[in-house]
Every structure is written in structure tokens, then in C-alpha cells.
Amino acid sequence: CMNYMLPLSYAWGNFSVLAVGIWAIVQRDSLDAIMMFLAGLLLSVLTDIIHISIFYPSHDFLSDVKRFSIGMAIFSLLLKPVSCYLVYQMYRERGGE
């Protein structure tokens, strides 16, 4: 998000998942909140893959700032399956099936 290389839909998607995640943490007894957070994380994995693959710059136009930005986006994408697993464990602890 810091280099404007990826479109605004990337930032809005990730920030909206973050907002639902905060809601899921605050509402400890709500299964709907945690399910929406898990669904949002899974959907954001798919959209992040699409955004990164479409908007990845060619090697000629890759400055250090762009390289760092895309590296952080890829690192965030790699951490999302771990987050999905942890959110699923929270769902099971709250009484989900």
C-alpha cells in the first residue's frame, strides 16, 4: 500500500478484513463474527494472489521501494494461511462445528 503500485482495491480489501477481525476479537461470544473473519481471510488470499500477479512490475521498472512494497505484500500473503488456521482454532474454541 505504501508505493501505490497495487490498486486501491488491494488496500480496501485488506483493511476491511482487518476491521472484521477487530470486530471478531471484541465480540467474543459471536460465531458470526469469527466466520465472517475467516471467510474474509480466505477471500483475501485469493484476491491478493490475483492483485500481485496482475500488477507485478517488470524487472526494468523495479526500484528499491517497489521491491520492498511487493515483498511485504508477498510476506503478508504467506502469513495469511497461518492466520486462517489460528482463526479456525478460535472458531472451534467458541463452539463451532
Give dist(CA 89, CA 6) in Å, integer: 31
Cell of 75: 510476506
Q: Do residues 41 and 3 lie in contact, with contact meaning Cβ atoms separated by under 8 Å?
A: no
pLDDT at residue 8, rounded to an integer: 87
Q: State the pTM of this model.
A: 0.84
Q: Above 70 in pLDDT, residue 56? A: yes
pLDDT at residue 1, rounded to an integer: 62
For the segment 91-97, the average pLDDT, to the nearest whole number, is 84
Percentage of the chain beyond pLDDT 70 is: 97
Percentage of the chain beyond pLDDT 90 is: 58
For the segment 47-72, the average pLDDT, to the nearest whole number, is 86
